[in-house]
């Protein structure tokens, strides 16, 4: 419990100094928010808007982090993109970044930003292709189960939990790094974000939903403390 309290104090300080809510109406508060990334290419970047709202409420209950629990989105070329410390990308299909977006996204990631991407099923090929444009000198690497992200609040000794079956493959998670810092975290064949949606959307068992929320909390805490 003392670990949770320590995280709560530290995160509140980080949030107060660095985080602003990114929305179409501009910054709303200093509480931590998650900005959904709107991208071109035809993929449904907008699906299941209850996901990050429910995750933020869970994170607040578990850690005390002040949150702005609203659904809002941001585009890489928008003025308030750099005001979003945590950007979330998901979808089922194609993703396409322009050259200007590629450069701007790399600048964002190299200067403290964090991108979490969850393959909702069918975006893997496109996401890997576009990330290779952003970091041409790197490949996405699978994180070992010993990585601190899996143990920072809740313990996941086997790495990412399997929330949805999809193709029946094992759950995996990959990362891209800048100067040793994890700047892109990508989950594949696990789909924790579906577990964050309102319960009637995917009708996941409550046990799976709780796994997904705990795992999402670890992602948020790791991003904010590193």
pLDDT digits (tens, 9 = 90+) for 41-52: 999 999 999 999
Confidence check: pLDDT of 183 > 80? yes
Q: Which CATH architecture has domain 2-225?
A: 3-Layer(aba) Sandwich (3.40)
CB 8 within 8 A of CB 48: no
Cα-based distances in Å from 80 to 26, 67, 97, 177: 7, 18, 18, 23
Q: What's the average model confidence in pLDDT over 103-118? A: 98
Lowest mean pLDDT among 9-13, 41-45, 70-74: 9-13
CB 69 within 8 A of CB 57: yes
Predicted local distance difference test score (pLDDT) of residue 166 = 80
Model confidence at 29, in pLDDT bands (50, 70, 90)?
Answer: low
Q: What is the pLDDT of residues 123-142, one digit of tens each?
A: 999 999 999 999 999 999 99
Confidence check: pLDDT of 77 > 70? yes
Confidence check: pLDDT of 96 > 70? yes
Q: Please indicate whether residue 23 or residue 137 has the higher confidence score (pLDDT).
A: 137
Q: How far apart are CA 33 and CA 66, in angstroms?
A: 9
Domain spans of the chain? 2-225
Q: 124 φ, ψ to 5°?
A: -60, -50
Burial string for 125-164 (b: 16+ CB within 10 Å, else e) reads ebbbebbebbbeeeebeebeeebebbebbbebeebbbbbb
Predicted local distance difference test score (pLDDT) of residue 97 = 98
* Distance in angstroms between the alpha carbons of the first and the last residue of the chain: 21
Predicted local distance difference test score (pLDDT) of residue 30 = 78
Confidence check: pLDDT of 217 > 70? yes
Q: What's the average model confidence in pLDDT over 180-207? A: 94
């Amino acid at each position: 419990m003392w670990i949770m309290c320590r995280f709560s104090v530290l995160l509140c300080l980080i949030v107060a100094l660095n985080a602003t809510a990114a929305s179409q109406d501009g910054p709303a508060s200093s509480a931590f928010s998650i900005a959904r990334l709107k991208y071109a290419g035809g993929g449904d970047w907008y699906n299941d808007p209850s996901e990050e709202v429910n995750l933020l409420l869970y994170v607040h209950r578990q850690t005390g982090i002040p949150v702005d629990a609203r659904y809002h989105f941001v585009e890489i070329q928008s003025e308030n993109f750099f005001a979003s410390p945590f950007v979330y990308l998901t979808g089922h299909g194609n993703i396409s970044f322009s050259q200007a977006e590629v450069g701007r996204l790399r600048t964002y990631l190299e200067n403290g930003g964090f991108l979490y991407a969850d393959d909702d099923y069918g975006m893997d090929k496109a996401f890997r292709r576009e990330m290779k444009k952003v970091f041409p000198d790197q490949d996405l690497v699978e994180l070992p189960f010993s990585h601190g992200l899996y143990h920072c609040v809740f313990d996941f000794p086997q790495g990412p939990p399997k929330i949805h079956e999809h193709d029946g493959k094992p759950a995996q998670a990959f990362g891209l790094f800048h100067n040793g810092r994890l700047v892109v975290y990508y989950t594949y064949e696990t789909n924790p974000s579906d577990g964050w949606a309102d319960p009637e959307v995917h009708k996941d068992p409550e046990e799976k939903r709780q796994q997904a929320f705990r795992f999402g909390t670890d992602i948020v805490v790791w991003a904010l403390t590193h």
